Chain A
Amino acid sequence: MRFDLLMEALPVMGTGYLGIFVVTGVIIGVVTLLNKFTSGK
């Protein structure tokens, strides 16, 4: 068991998983706006 490598990987794990939600949140917001402003076009 390499706990030193695990400690190295934890920031990547945390930042990466959080990052997906941030990017996804931005896309959800933009798509919602797109739907709002382009309906019927």
Chain B
Amino acid sequence: MEVLIQNFAYITWQMVVMWAIGGVLIYLAIVKQMEPTLLLPMGFGAILVNLPVAVEGTGVQHVLETLFSIGIEGAELFPLMLFIGIGAMIDFQPLLTNPKLMIFGAAAQFGIFFTLAAASLLGFEIQDAASIAIIGAADGPTSIFVATELGSKYLGAIMVAAYSYMALVPLVQPPIIKLCTTKEERKIKMQYKGKPVSKLTKILFPIVVTVIVGLVAPDAVALIGFLMFGNLIRECGVMNSISETAQNALANLITIFLGITIASQMKAAEFLQVDTLIIIGLGLVAFVFDTFGGIMVAKIMNLFSKEKINPMIGAAGISAFPMSARVVHKMGLEEDNSNFLLMHSIGVNVSGQIASVIAGGLILALVKAMIGG
């Protein structure tokens, strides 16, 4: 009998809090359907790693730490492999039709750099501030990659914040968009000129982008390379079954392991700190200023262009794909039910995917140069 109850003595209030946090993540995943593929394994994992037996370093602890060292810490294998799947899922056609949309993808990375400054001001060292700031990439694999490369001790909190805010895009963005735009601006209609894009362009695009980013921001070459490799598989037209495997089986498999592996970093002793709350707050700041940056650049462009741009599409430049594009499209329809912004916002949204990877690479290069890493 004593054997059955001996572990109860090791339960701490911090563990109970982590079980509650795990429960909230599972609730959000199942009931609110927020990023269930990640929040559910993370929630379950948060409970798993905070059981007394787990804390003592038996079985499950060892398994999760092995997964972490192989899949994330060692060579960032999980986020990179997930990027092959994401690349295979993305259709860059709306962007290739109107490449200028990429400007908004770049503009909407403003939150990353604003948050870098804010986190530094709050006392985080540059490598931690940069890792926290990259939550604003609105892109889980990039956040994991950058935080791991920079050796941030806040990986668990960064991951929870990154994936939670990606799921919360439909709640976070609309009030900011409304605050930054007038009703008249939100009503601006944009004509979609669906110019055909040649197959050759679609095939050359991933190769060219990999070479350009590889030359300018070599630290991002693994991320952009795997993303574009996935896209090349999709567009080449001779690897359809592999493209489907990458989009479905590969992405799903990696996602299962990624969520629960991230949870291995959610042990009470490391997670329950004031810094975690600050990081979650800074994550929100990053998303807010990403949205702000994209909208403001669209407004500035409107001062000089004859053909007016609906500034809301600038907000879709954060790479939370495709939630952000849908939010903008829906808001356009709310203002005027004949205002269809989807193709423009999707184009901006996929631009944000590329721009967030470039941002990650540039941050890595600049911070490594600063700390001599």
Interface residues of A (CB under 8 A from B): 1-3, 5-6, 8-17, 19-24, 26-28, 30-32, 34-35, 38-41
Contacts and interface: CB of A to CB of B under 8 A. Distances in A.
Given A31-B99, A38-B200, 12 more contacts: A5-B129, A6-B120, A9-B117, A17-B109, A19-B216, A20-B355, A20-B362, A27-B99, A27-B212, A31-B205, A34-B200, A38-B204
Contact of B103 (A10, A28, A30): A28
B217 interface: yes
B201 A34 contact: yes
A38 B198 contact: yes
Given A2-B122, A28-B100, A28-B103, A17 B201 contact: no
Given A5-B124, A9-B120, A38-B200, A16 B216 contact: no
Given A5-B124, A9-B126, A41-B199, A30 B370 contact: no
A24 B106 contact: yes
B117 A6 contact: yes
A27 B117 contact: no
Interface in B334-373: 351, 354-355, 358-359, 362-363, 366-367, 370
A19 B352 CA distance: 15
Given A5-B124, A12-B130, A16-B366, A41 B198 contact: yes
A14 B117 CA distance: 10
A32 B117 contact: no
A20 B198 contact: no
B177 interface: no
A26 B355 CA distance: 12
B314 to A, nearest CB: 14
B197 interface: yes
Contacts of B217: 19, 23
A40 B107 CA distance: 32
Most buried by B among A17, A30, A39: A17
A30 B95 CA distance: 13
Nearest to A8: B126
Most buried by B among A3, A14, A23, A26: A23
Interface in B115-169: 116-117, 119-126, 129-130
B114 to A, nearest CB: 8
Given A21-B106, A38-B198, A27 B123 contact: no
Interface size class of B (residues with CB under 8 A): 35 or more
Most buried by B among A27, A28, A32, A39: A27
B287 interface: no
Contact of A31 (B96, B107, B109, B123): B96
Given A24-B106, A30-B208, A19 B362 contact: yes
B366 A12 contact: yes
A32 B99 contact: yes
Given A1-B121, A5-B120, A20-B358, A34 B126 contact: no
29 contacts: A1-B122, A2-B123, A5-B121, A6-B117, A11-B366, A12-B113, A12-B130, A13-B114, A14-B113, A16-B362, A19-B362, A20-B109, A20-B355, A20-B362, A23-B217, A23-B362, A24-B106, A26-B212, A28-B100, A31-B99, A31-B102, A31-B205, A31-B208, A34-B200, A35-B195, A39-B196, A39-B198, A41-B199, A41-B200
Interface in B183-219: 195-201, 204-205, 208-209, 212-213, 216-217
